[in-house]
Chains A and B, each alone.
Chain A
Amino acid sequence: MIDNLCDQARTDDIAVAGIYCDFWGQAEQSTLNILGAILKQLVGEREIPEHVLQAFQKTKRESGSRGLRVPDLTRMLKTAIALIPRVFICIDALDEVHPKHLSKLLTSLQDIIRESPNTRVFLTGRAHIIGEIKENLPGVVVVPVSSTEGDIETYLKMRLGQDPKPDAMDSDLRADILKLIPEKCSPM
């Protein structure tokens, strides 16, 4: 998805940021770190607004540590987004973010979208978090993963194409593999 959007982003008019979440990284994947990683990518090679850098130096000086808070970061994100015509934010496996961070993250995203209509957000996850997403992001459009049969067939064909001894398999076996495995993998 990120590459697909980046292919469109041939100019400076579009910026794409993407985050992958997973259970193993929950401790690190706080709202703060996720929003920070989004900003980090949006800024990319672009020039960092002077007042954002000043805010950074001030906070660092005052607190002596990271001292960054979610509202500060949300504000910085809005400032950065306002300078870019179109922004895409992708977050993969949102259901694997720790529940205590999820609603805060969604609230920040809603805040950003409301103020910056040039923002597009793409989220993936398992269906059980749909309720929470709808509650926090009322305009969300839900697209269920409808079928993976086509994808499994694509994968099998690729693997069969790599078979070091293709002559050892007759066409019936090949046809059976391409028919039965996708069937067995499909949800009942």
Chain B
Amino acid sequence: MAQESSRGLEGYSDTVNISPKIDVRGPFLQWLSPLEPRRRHQELQSSRIDGVGSRFLETAEFRKWSGGGDRSDPAVLFYGGDLGTGKSYLK
């Protein structure tokens, strides 16, 4: 009896291997965090104007940070300023 059922499963081995990935992905991502930053991003995107913050994007600091990926380049950039100075709207 036990042999029969294990043989029976073999025939479905492909399905058995694939389905857990599909079932788990959604709950897994939800488990990681309930935050949905995409929503806020879309709000900002729709109210943003081209060219805002372009001065920052031309700084040597930003170029080095985003550019090469050299170990000697800074890994962390902090863009600091008062409320309402357009930090969230940089493009």
Q: Do A and B form a real pair?
A: yes
- Which residues of A line the B interface, CB within 8 A? 1-5, 8, 18-20, 28-29, 32-37, 39-41, 43, 48, 53, 56-57, 60, 66, 68, 73, 86, 88, 92-93, 109, 113, 117-127, 129-130, 133, 137, 139-148, 150-151, 154-155, 158, 187
Residue of B20, B24, B33, B82 touching A145 (CB-CB under 8 A): B82
Chain A residues, Cβ within 8 Å of B32: 36-37, 39-40, 43, 68, 73
A60 touches B31 (CB 8 A): yes
B37 touches A118 (CB 8 A): no
B22 smallest CB distance to A (angstroms): 11
Residue of B35, B69, B80 touching A125 (CB-CB under 8 A): B80
**Chain A residue with Cβ nearest B20:** A53
B19-30 interface code vs A (CB 8 A; 1 in, 0 out): 011001100110
**Chain A residue with Cβ nearest B50:** A154
* Chain B interface bracket (under 10, 10 to 19, 20 to 34, 35 or more): 35 or more
Chain A residues, Cβ within 8 Å of B77: 120-123, 140-141, 143
Q: Is B49 an interface residue (CB 8 A)?
A: yes
A36 touches B75 (CB 8 A): no
B28 touches A144 (CB 8 A): no
Residue of A33, A66, A73, A144 touching B80 (CB-CB under 8 A): A144
9 further A-B pairs in the complex, CB-CB below 8 A; given A29-B35, A40-B32: A20-B37, A32-B33, A36-B32, A88-B66, A93-B88, A124-B80, A127-B81, A127-B82, A141-B61
A34 touches B33 (CB 8 A): yes
Q: Which of B37, B40, B45, B87 has the most CB of A within 10 A?
A: B37
A184 smallest CB distance to B (angstroms): 13
